[in-house]
Amino acid sequence: MSVLFAGGVAVAYATTVIGLHRLNVRRMRAQASGFPTLQRLDWQSLIAGLLPPSTAPKAPSDLPPLLRGEPPAGAEARHALLSALVAGSPVEPSRFEAAGFSGGESQWLTTLALAQSKPGGALGRLFAAASSTSAEVYLREHLFLRHRVNPLNLELSVFASKRRLASALSRFTDAPALYFARAQASALLGFNKAVLDDLARAVYFSRQSAFYLKVVTELPWVQEARPALYQQCVALLTARPLA
């Protein structure tokens, strides 16, 4: 058998295996309608600790809990800037320190602003520095999975992301956003059981936050694939009229 012929057979075999694998990925993703709710961003995890808690009643809202109701006294400017970020409005980074955020907080908020307008720039900042918080890891992997993964690098990129998330989870074992990011990674390869497992962990470690309850209940496929999880999340969400 010639080397050329053997090489051709190997290429044909690899192409067939990859093709069958990609067909299965498409089939599994189609079952969950492409996992649309996994594309959402957990803003509560990203802005936690940037405002003092409000004593005002929380009104029904899709805003993160930190931004519901009236801002605490003296934090009005910071509240307005965070609300603008969450809404996707452009925010000039120079305004962060002027509003009372510290230098480190302003740097983080600049990255969040870039994530909205120039995700590649935000990714560059996040990969350039060692991540010291679970929020930094979460944002990095969320942006990486959304903007750096393509059909040519799908498997290698997803597994690289999952390795980084596994390393981070050894440090931040109770960070729900990291499980959510890992579910997003698994979804790209059609690992549907792994998606469900990590969504359940995100619900648990977030203390059943409304954000993750809605991620589950607004993905109808979960009702069929994991009815106990779906029904539990529906019941918890129904019991929270202000969620």
DSSP letter for each residue of 123-155: HHHHHHS---SHHHHHHHHHHHHHHT--TTTHH
| Residue 12 located in a structural domain | no
Any domain includes 16: no
The 8 Å CB, 24+ separation contacts for 74-80 are: 74/100, 75/51, 75/100, 78/50, 78/51, 79/51
Residue 114 within a domain: yes
CA 5 vs CA 8, 12, 137, 162, 204: distances in Å: 5, 11, 46, 37, 54
Residue 9, pLDDT score: 47
Output the pLDDT for position 52.
84
C-alpha pair distances (Å), 8 with each of 5, 15, 212, 223: 5, 10, 48, 46
- Which tens digits make up the pLDDT trace of 148-200? 999 999 999 999 999 999 999 999 999 999 999 999 999 999 999 999 999 99
Strands (E), 125-226: none
In this structure, is the dihedral angle defined by the CA atoms of residues 194, 232, 223 and 36, taken in order, positive or negative? negative
Is 188 a member of any domain?
A: yes
17 belongs to a structural domain = no
What's the whole-model pTM score? 0.87
Q: Which residues contact 196 (CB under 8 A, 6 or more apart)?
A: 222, 225, 226, 229
Query: Residue 13: its pLDDT value, please?
Result: 45
Cα–Cα distance measured from residue 68 to residue 51, given in angstroms and rounded to the nearest whole number:
12
**CATH at 191:** 1.25.40
Give CA angle at 213 (212, 216), nearest 5°.
85
Q: Can you list the residues of the chain whose pLDDT is less than 50?
A: 5-6, 9-14, 20-21
Number of domains the chain contains: 1
User: Do the domain assignments include residue 115?
Assistant: yes
Within a domain: residue 21? no
CA dist 187 and 31 (Å) reads 11
Nearest to 235 by CA among 212, 213, 220, 215: 213
In whole angstroms, give the CA distance from residue 127 to residue 141. 10
In a domain, 191, yes or no: yes
pLDDT at 75: 92
- What is the domain range of residue 137? 32-238
d(CA 71, CA 82): 11
